[in-house]
């Protein structure tokens, strides 16, 4: 009997052990299953990240040769694919997509700035412009950028310009600074050409810049701003030489990039408030020039129209009657920023 009891006790112990082993096995299997689920999810995420551009490309319906050209030319893959996806969502055909993207690819292949073209395409989409309308604008921008090369590159090669780049490059290498400043100038010249500026007028501006003290105290950014403002100056069509003198004078006077870009608007404001002819506002020779006037004050004079010489009894809108006697001290002669 005692022996049988020991046998039963031993059997119970073995049963408990087997049950414990079963629980252990089930736990192991469960852990393996959970691990497999996690691994599958991780692989799904990884594949989604790496294959997303391919999916976008397939959705957009872009021909592989176009995308390959874009990648080979160094166009940012994510940006152009995002743009293509937006175009496709508008229901454009693969042919329309290709035609809209080709100006970007063509500029990149020529090592010319293409950011503004991409921005304009996105802007056209936001404004619900038709595919033909977007393409018309992009082709115009592409053409003006290509034309800009013949104006900018010979000027960039001049020793005086190279010295300016060396002086302004900071921590960048000469090659990096040259690429940056070339891009700025190309975009500014392209902007003016799109506004129907004459190529010879743009070349004349650059010649005046080289022969002025801008090359020793100016900056490539201010020169680029002057090139962009040139086509917007209200007197450029009739008297381009005056616009050039005024812009060169503004750069020499220490105008900031934003002030140079605002100068065309300031001149129009002065014309509106003073009722004087634009040529007199910009370059009259019969008034005593002021010297050492801060650029910000000159801009304020122009925007308020306080330049003197208006019609009899005329008062600028922002000057109260009781300050009429003080207007003489607030006026800026038109020649204040002329060289």
Provide the residue-wise pLDDT of the chain in tens; the chain has 339 residues: 444 545 444 555 445 444 545 555 555 555 545 555 454 554 444 444 444 444 444 444 455 687 788 888 898 888 888 888 888 888 888 888 889 999 999 999 999 999 999 999 999 999 999 999 999 999 999 999 999 999 999 999 999 999 999 988 888 999 999 999 999 999 999 999 999 999 999 999 999 999 888 888 778 999 999 999 999 999 888 889 989 988 998 888 888 899 999 999 988 888 787 777 777 776 543 333 434 566 666 776 676 666 554 433 334 444 333 333 333 334 444 444 444
Q: What is the residue-wise DSSP string for 87-145?
A: HHHTT--HHHHHHHHHHHHHHHHTT---HHHHHHHHHHHHTT--HHHHHHHHHHHHHHH
Tokens of 219: 């900056």
Measure CA of the first residue to CA of the last residue in the chain; give whole Å. Answer: 126
Q: Closest by alpha carbon to 118, among 80, 155, 149, 156?
A: 80
Torsion, CA 79, CA 85, CA 90, CA 91, rounded to 10: 140
- Is 101 in contact with 80 (CB distance < 8 Å)? yes
Q: For residues 57 and 67, what is the distance between their CA atoms, to the nearest angstrom? A: 8
Find out whether 204 and 154 touch, Cβ atoms under 8 Å.
Answer: no
**Which of these, 99, 83, 103, 96, lies nearest to 144 by C-alpha position?**
103
Instruction: Tell me what pLDDT residue 293 has.
Output: 63
Res 113: pLDDT: 96
In DSSP notation, 189-236 reads HHHHHHTT--HHHHHHHHHHHHTSTHHHH--HHHHHHHHHHHTTSTTT
23 in helix, strand or coil? helix
Burial degree of 244 (CB within 10 A; 0-12, 13-18, 19+): buried
* Alpha-carbon gap, residue 270 to 282, rounded angstroms: 9
Q: Say how many residues make up the chain.
A: 339
**Predicted pLDDT at 151:** 98
- DSSP 8-state secondary structure symbol assigned to residue 285: S
């Amino acid at each position: 009997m005692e022996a049988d009891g020991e046998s039963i006790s031993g059997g119970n112990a073995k049963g408990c052990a087997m049950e414990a082993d079963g629980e252990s096995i089930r736990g192991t299997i469960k852990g393996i299953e959970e691990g497999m689920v996690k691994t599958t999810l991780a692989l799904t995420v990884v594949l989604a990240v790496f294959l997303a551009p391919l999916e976008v490309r397939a959705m957009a319906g872009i021909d592989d040769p176009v995308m390959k050209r874009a990648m080979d030319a160094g166009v940012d893959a994510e940006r152009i694919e995002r743009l293509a996806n937006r175009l496709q969502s508008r229901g454009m055909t693969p042919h329309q997509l290709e035609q809209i993207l080709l100006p970007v690819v063509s500029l990149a292949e020529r090592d010319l700035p293409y950011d503004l073209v991409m921005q304009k395409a996105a802007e056209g989409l936001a404004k619900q412009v038709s595919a033909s309308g977007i393409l018309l604008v992009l082709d115009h921008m592409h053409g003006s950028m290509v034309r800009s090369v013949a104006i900018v590159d010979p000027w960039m090669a001049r020793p005086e310009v190279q010295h300016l780049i060396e002086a302004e490059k900071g921590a960048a290498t000469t090659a990096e600074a040259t690429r940056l400043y070339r891009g700025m100038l190309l975009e500014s010249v392209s902007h003016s050409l799109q506004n129907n500026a004459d190529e010879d007028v743009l070349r004349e501006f650059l010649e005046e810049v080289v022969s002025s003290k801008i090359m020793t105290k100016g900056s490539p950014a201010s020169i680029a701003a002057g090139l962009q403002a040139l086509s917007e100056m209200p007197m450029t069509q009739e008297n381009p030489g005056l616009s050039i003198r005024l812009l060169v004078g503004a750069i020499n006077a220490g105008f900031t990039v934003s002030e140079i870009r605002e100068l065309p608007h300031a001149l129009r404001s002065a014309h509106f408030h003073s009722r004087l002819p634009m040529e007199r506002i910009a370059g009259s020779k019969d008034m005593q020039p002021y010297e050492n006037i801060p650029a910000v004050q000159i801009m304020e004079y122009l925007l308020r129209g306080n330049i003197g010489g208006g019609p009899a009894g005329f008062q600028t809108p922002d000057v109260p009657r009781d300050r009429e006697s003080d207007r003489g001290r607030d006026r800026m002669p038109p020649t204040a920023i002329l060289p």
